[in-house]
Structure 1
Amino acid sequence: MTDERGIHRQPRRRAWLRIFGTGLLLWVLTVVVTFATGNPNLVPTLVLLGSFLVPVTFVAWAFERRHSGEVTAELLLTTFITGGVLGVLGASLLETYLLHPSAGLFLGVGLVEEAVKLGALIVLTRRLARKSALDGMILGAAVGFGFAAFESAGYAFTALFTEQGLSLVDLVQTEILRGLLAPVGHGLWTAILGGVLFSASDHRHFAFSRRLLLSYLGVSLLHALWDSMHGIALALTLLLTGTPRQFQLLEQGYQPRPTPLQVNLFTALSWGGLAVLAVVGVVWLAAERRIASRAERSAVFWRMPTTG
């Protein structure tokens, strides 16, 4: 099947759905067998399956919607693995040596991690002959999901160790939570940056522009708000429902016991805040995609041969 640009496209076979179904089944079987046998040798399998299932599925889904032949399976795999590893290594180094516990810690983390992912995307795609914004979104998402997969593996492994010993329950809960949130986190933010980075009108160079800078600052802010939502929800809960006795205990260095109302309000604010940020990110990406699609249609129109 060939489109108006002469690019051959394979019928969509929904390979991503088979990947997700097979991976989910294997992960569930691994969970059951690990709990049944208590075999610690299965823990790496559990961590890797749970951490990579959702990111790999979304990258496969994006690959089926690639815009041109420039985005090959090899390139997508390279951006996913190499970009993900470079991202977590670079972020770890910069956050260790540049950031310190402070009120602006989460903003610093957002700025560092988004800069590292953007840098990895630039390095890995610099030799592409033709750069389109739609392909940039896919490749950006691949870097972001690779980062998310390796980061989630680290969090899952850390959750395994508790004061009471190894906790498979905490590991599984961490993987489920991060798997649910992965599509509206790193992959989404870097997809936005990838689309802007590849939006140059000549399709040969990166678009290093004020728009890219503003987009970078915007996704970094979303990232920071996402990471700090727990603290924001806690502060709002205390501000709205805190009692004089609770504030007094806090001033004395004690942790007050929350009321049932406060627990429910904190939960609603935490998840509600994340939902709002997710909607903002999805709407932003959809807007960037519409802009890119219009630009591509316009470019195709002007390249069409004239008659007469």
Structure 2
Amino acid sequence: MRPWLKIFLIGLALWAATVLVTMWTDNSNLVPTVVLLGSFLVPVTFVVWAYGHARGEEVTVELMFKSFVIGGILGVLGASVLESYLRPSLVMYVGVGLIEEGVKLAALMLLTRGLKHRSVKDGLVLGATVGFGFAAFESAGYAFNAMFTGEGLSLAQMVETEILRGVLAPVGHGLWTAIAGGMLFAAGGRLTGKVILTYLGVSLLHALWDSMNGLAIAITLLLTGRPWQFQLIRIGKVPDVTDAQVHVFTALNWGGLVVISAAALLWLRAISRSAR
């Protein structure tokens, strides 16, 4: 059995067992274990898989560990500080995309500044590692916050959040930073015009991903909105929605995420092929 698959299956079994024991015993001491296992399982699995595709001798386990932990934490801290200056607006998602992709790229540049040899493939691997580190620490925060509800603590809601973020993790932060890392290493670690354009491109994908829920609502209203719904919106009230609109919204929301993911995967594939 391949190492990454073994890690995933063992980790999944341990996470499921911890969730069941926590539910059975109501032992709150196990909650951090549920959060950490659920948030780190998929990112760590993909990092192990990526390590098997690294080429350069300088891409060591130590460098991968630093990229995942240090790069991920630096990215989360930098994003938290910079995003505190953002205010709710239509362009907020663009700001979040620019900030988070920027801090991850900066962390990658910092951690790989001493490398003598750089290949595009190693840039893809190390970029993905930084991105998955960011995703793991960010998911732990989301899972922790999801536990607190208006009706008290909810283990079920925390678990649902971890499952959803785990399923979506492979086409999120790790993928976007892998693209930026590949182009960065193709440019010898320098901020060239192509690297900056790549950074702007993945930031746009990130912004579209984050805003897909709102975009799906707006498009659904434009396509299927009733006059009485627009009248309620004009006076600041939230209108009820029809069953048909719920289906349209769901299709647009998930369809948009699929399109964004497909575009990023095709971009990654093009960079990987060019490296060959």
Equivalent in the alignment of 2:50: 62
- DSSP-derived class of the 2:229 partner: helix
Equivalent in the alignment of 2:258: 275
Distance 2:83 2:203 in 1: 14
Once structures 1 and 2 are overlaid, which stretch shifts more, 267-276 or 34-43? 34-43
Equivalent in the alignment of 2:17: 29
User: Is residue 260 from structure 1 mapped to residue 247 from structure 2 by the alignment?
Assistant: no
Residue pair 2:72, 2:131 contacting (<8 A) in 1 also: yes
Superposed, 1:1-308 pairs within 5 Å as 14-97=2-85, 99-200=86-187, 205-293=188-276
- 1:176-214: per-residue Cα shift (whole Å, max 9, x none)? 0000000000000000010000013xxxx4132111011
Question: What is the identity, as a one-letter code, of the residue corresponding to 2:175?
Answer: L
| Bigger Rg, which one | 1
Question: What is the identity, as a one-letter code, of the residue corresponding to 1:151?
Answer: E
- DSSP-derived class of the 1:198 partner: helix
Distance 2:230 2:19 in 1: 43
Distance 1:265 1:49 in 2: 35
Distance 1:159 1:144 in 2: 22
Distance 2:234 2:155 in 1: 37
Once structures 1 and 2 are overlaid, which stretch shifts more, 34-43 or 213-222? 34-43
The structure with higher relative contact order (CA 8 Å, sep 6+) is 2
Distance 1:132 1:78 in 2: 19
Percent identity of equivalent pairs: 62
Task: Give how far 1:253 is off.
Answer: 1.8
Equivalent in the alignment of 1:300: none
Distance 1:139 1:207 in 2: 16
Segments of structure 1 that go 5 or more residues without pairing to the other structure are: 1-12, 294-308
Distance 2:96 2:130 in 1: 17
RMSD value over aligned CA atoms? 0.8
Question: What is the identity, as a one-letter code, of the residue corresponding to 1:187?
Answer: G
Distance 1:198 1:119 in 2: 13
Once structures 1 and 2 are overlaid, which stretch shifts more, 254-263 or 267-276? 254-263
The two structures have a TM-score, normalised by structure 1, of 0.88
Residue pair 1:196, 1:207 contacting (<8 A) in 2 also: no
The two structures have a TM-score, normalised by structure 2, of 0.98
Q: How many residues align?
A: 276
Question: What is the identity, as a one-letter code, of the residue corresponding to 1:16?
Answer: W
Question: What is the identity, as a one-letter code, of the residue corresponding to 2:210?
Answer: D
Residue pair 1:230, 1:270 contacting (<8 A) in 2 also: yes
Residue pair 2:56, 2:118 contacting (<8 A) in 1 also: no
Question: What is the identity, as a one-letter code, of the residue corresponding to 2:192?
Answer: S
Task: Give how far 1:236 is off.
Answer: 0.5
Residue pair 1:88, 1:150 contacting (<8 A) in 2 also: yes
Distance 2:247 2:18 in 1: 34
Distance 1:27 1:179 in 2: 12
